[in-house]
């Protein structure tokens, strides 16, 4: 009886030990996966530009924007400058090229060629030139494509395809008419709910683009994403920048920014993202009864010289003179006599003018011979009844928020212009903009490049292989380390080799041994003293058992039987034939 009880106790104890032993691998496996999620770096880089069309920097201080505040807490917020005209098409082109209209050629959505107008017959009407006719510089999107950087452009206005230049984008989405219609978003009666739906569509497409790029960025590719929300411009023009609807819109957009930020964090991309939130231009209140361009929108009625005009739907007017050498002074004299004139800039130097086209970076054939800066609340537009306008120096100030995991803590920017954004992002993503005249802002962590090779790439269990990790850093600082990780197919870390580095470039070798079959990955990365991944590379190694093929005993047996039979036949047949011959003689 006692022996039976003792045996039972032993069985229970043995069972408990077996359960514990079976659970240990499970616990270890879970710990390895968690460690991998915390350690494995994003190898590529992402540049993001979000544009609130016609966002007044002052409104950001007067409405609740908790998500934008979160971005600012991780970066910096400055009041920057856009270009003249401070209007959508010209400003987006300047942003994409990193240069002013004197370089890009684009002075508005449409304009005229001043040289052609000068040379035409007096009774000829000048031909309109659209932004695609004016563009004469390379944009960040076409240069990025040439440098194998993935690109996505998600916009509310189709004319913003100007930013693609002569190239394209991996993803190009424009707010569809089916979302906008029925109705006109420029109209004051357009429902606010439909505006929210339009903005949500832009965000949803942007989140899809991030998901589509996420894997390739993690594996080492770079990407550029530009997101454009038009609604502040539309509602601000219709109802004014001081309206409650305009402020509600900015608050709603803060929520959309939160969705984008959360997606970048959830996908792990935020750590390698350089993020700009800005506006293409500002917006100012105007009096709908003070439109100076009435009746014939192609001429300014107060001018008694031969001319043509091109308006920018707001505070700046291009005036093309048929005879600029003869009529410039007379035209400036007339313009200066009116209260709506804030500034006058001329192609031909004139003593009464406030400056030349060179002074405002508009010395291009598509600008007027005179550029008139209108003083609000006056404005010049073929669209009647506006309560908000843009285009001139009154709307040149814009908010610029620079943030992201790649933002360099402690960075300051004394002077920021819209033309500085593209060259900064291009530098971060690893290429140059050939036509840019803007500055590269010193706001991001200096990174580097890395490559990794494995030899041999296919091994047997128990066989060693050598990893060679090469790196080049833009900056070297104390506390940097190189890590070479051995990962299984699910990404769990099996081995971690870490070494301190003190040089800006070098080669690190390490030997690993695999004991089981399977597909494994080698990841090499450089980290700064705070654990931020500077650069890295990834490769794969296969472990395959090479065994001798099984002995085919059945075939061998058949072969032996056949061999014995044939051998016997060789012995017997001669005797048989000999006897056969005797019998048949």
Confidence band, pLDDT 50/70/90 cuts, at residue 383: confident
Question: Using one digit for the tens of pLDDT, what is the confidence trace for 84-129?
Answer: 999 999 999 999 999 999 999 999 999 999 999 999 999 899 999 9
pLDDT at 27 over 60: no
Longest Cα pair distance anywhere in the chain, in angstroms? 146
Nearest Cα neighbor of 228 from 164, 314, 149, 295 is: 164
Contact predicate 433/423, CB 8 Å: yes
Alpha-carbon span 11 to 19, nearest angstrom: 12
Residue 110 dihedral angles phi and psi, to the nearest 5°: -140, 155
- Residue 447 is predicted with a pLDDT of 86
Confidence band, pLDDT 50/70/90 cuts, at residue 549: low
Alpha-carbon span 423 to 222, nearest angstrom: 15
Angle 207-248-315 from CA coordinates, rounded to 5°: 95
Alpha-carbon span 452 to 572, nearest angstrom: 71
- Residue 448 is predicted with a pLDDT of 87
Contact predicate 344/386, CB 8 Å: no
Q: Which CATH number fits domain 446-547: 2.60.40.2550, 3.30.2130.10, 3.40.50.720, 2.60.120.10?
A: 2.60.40.2550
Nearest Cα neighbor of 388 from 174, 241, 535, 205 is: 241
Contact predicate 290/379, CB 8 Å: yes
- Residue 489 is predicted with a pLDDT of 87
What percent of the chain is predicted at pLDDT more than 90? 76
- Residue 15 is predicted with a pLDDT of 47
**Which residue, chain included where needed, has tokens 């399977």?**
518
Let me know if 73 is exposed, middle or buried by CB neighbors in 10 A (0-12, 13-18, 19+). exposed
As a 3-state breakdown, the chain gives helix, strand, coil percent values, each rounded to 5, of: 35, 25, 35
Confidence band, pLDDT 50/70/90 cuts, at residue 142: very high
Nearest Cα neighbor of 249 from 232, 233, 237 is: 232
Rg value, the chain, Cα: 36
Nearest Cα neighbor of 313 from 429, 425, 157, 191 is: 157
Strands 370-374 and 397-403: unpaired
Confidence band, pLDDT 50/70/90 cuts, at residue 550: low
Q: Identify the bridge partners of residue 464 per DSSP, sorted by sequence position.
A: 513
The DSSP output letter for 313 is S
Angle 230-232-309 from CA coordinates, rounded to 5°: 75
Domain ranges of the chain: 46-99+137-286+388-429, 307-374, 446-547
**pTM, two decimal places:** 0.83
Question: What mean pLDDT do residues 289-308 have?
Answer: 92
Question: What mean pLDDT do residues 189-207 have?
Answer: 96
Alpha-carbon span 448 to 474, nearest angstrom: 6
Q: Which CATH number fits domain 46-99+137-286+388-429: 3.30.360.10, 3.30.465.10, 2.60.40.1260, 3.40.720.10?
A: 3.40.720.10
Same topology, domains 46-99+137-286+388-429 and 446-547? Answer is no
pLDDT at 545 over 90: no
Coil, helix or strand for 337? coil
Confidence band, pLDDT 50/70/90 cuts, at residue 269: very high
């Amino acid at each position: 009886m006692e022996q039976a009880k003792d045996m039972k106790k032993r069985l229970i104890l043995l069972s408990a030990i077996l359960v514990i032993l079976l659970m240990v691998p499970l616990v270890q496996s879970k710990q390895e996966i968690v460690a991998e999620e915390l350690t494995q770096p994003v190898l590529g880089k992402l540049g993001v530009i979000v544009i609130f069309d016609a966002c007044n920097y002052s409104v950001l201080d007067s409405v609740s924007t908790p998500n934008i505040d979160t971005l600012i807490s991780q970066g910096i917020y400055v009041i920057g400058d856009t270009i003249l005209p401070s209007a959508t098409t010209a400003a987006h082109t300047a942003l994409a090229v990193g240069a002013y209209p004197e370089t890009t050629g684009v002075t508005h959505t449409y304009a005229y060629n001043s040289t052609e107008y000068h040379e035409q017959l007096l009774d000829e009407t000048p031909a309109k030139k659209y932004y695609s006719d004016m563009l004469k510089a390379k944009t960040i999107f076409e240069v990025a494509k040439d440098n194998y950087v993935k690109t996505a452009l998600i916009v509310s206005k189709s004319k913003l395809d100007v930013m693609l230049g002569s190239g394209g984008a991996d993803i190009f989405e424009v707010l569809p008419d089916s979302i906008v219609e029925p109705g006109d978003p420029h109209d004051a009666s357009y429902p606010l709910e439909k505006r929210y739906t339009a903005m949500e569509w832009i965000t949803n497409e942007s989140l899809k683009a991030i998901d589509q790029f996420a894997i390739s960025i993690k594996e080492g590719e770079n990407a550029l994403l530009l997101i454009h929300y038009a609604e502040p411009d539309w509602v601000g023009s219709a109802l004014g920048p001081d309206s409650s609807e305009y402020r509600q819109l900015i608050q709603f957009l803060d929520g959309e920014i939160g969705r984008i930020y959360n997606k970048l964090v959830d996908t792990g991309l935020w750590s390698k993202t350089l993020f700009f939130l800005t506006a293409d231009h500002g917006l100012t209140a105007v009096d709908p009864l003070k439109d100076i361009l009435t009746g014939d929108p192609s001429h300014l009625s107060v001018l008694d010289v031969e001319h043509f005009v091109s308006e920018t739907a707001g505070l700046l007017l291009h005036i093309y003179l048929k005879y600029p050498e003869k009529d410039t002074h007379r035209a400036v004299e007339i313009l200066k006599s009116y209260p709506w004139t804030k500034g006058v800039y001329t192609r031909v130097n004139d003593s009464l003018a406030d400056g030349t086209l060179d002074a405002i970076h508009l010395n291009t054939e598509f600008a007027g011979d005179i550029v008139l800066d209108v003083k609000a609340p006056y404005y010049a537009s073929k669209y009647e009844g506006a309560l908000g306008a843009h285009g001139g120096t009154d709307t040149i100030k814009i908010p610029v928020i620079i943030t992201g995991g790649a933002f360099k803590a402690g960075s300051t920017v004394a002077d920021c212009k819209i033309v500085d954004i593209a060259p900064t992002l291009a530098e971060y993503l690893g290429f140059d903009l050939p036509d840019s005249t803007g500055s590269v802002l010193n706001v991001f962590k200096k990174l580097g490049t890395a490559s990794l090779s494995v030899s041999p790439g296919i091994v047997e269990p128990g066989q060693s292989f050598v990893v060679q990790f090469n790196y080049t850093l833009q900056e070297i600082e104390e506390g940097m380390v190189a890590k070479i990780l051995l990962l299984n197919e699910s990404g769990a870390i099996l081995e971690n080799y870490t070494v301190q580095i003190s040089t800006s470039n070098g080669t690190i070798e390490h030997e690993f041994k695999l004991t089981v079959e399977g597909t494994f990955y080698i990841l090499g990365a450089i980290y700064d003293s705070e654990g931020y991944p500077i650069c890295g590379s990834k490769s794969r190694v296969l472990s395959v058992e090479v065994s001798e093929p099984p002995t085919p005993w059945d075939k061998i047996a058949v072969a032996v039987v056949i061999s014995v039979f044939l051998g016997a036949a060789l012995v017997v047949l001669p005797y048989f034939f000999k006897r056969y011959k005797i019998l048949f003689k």
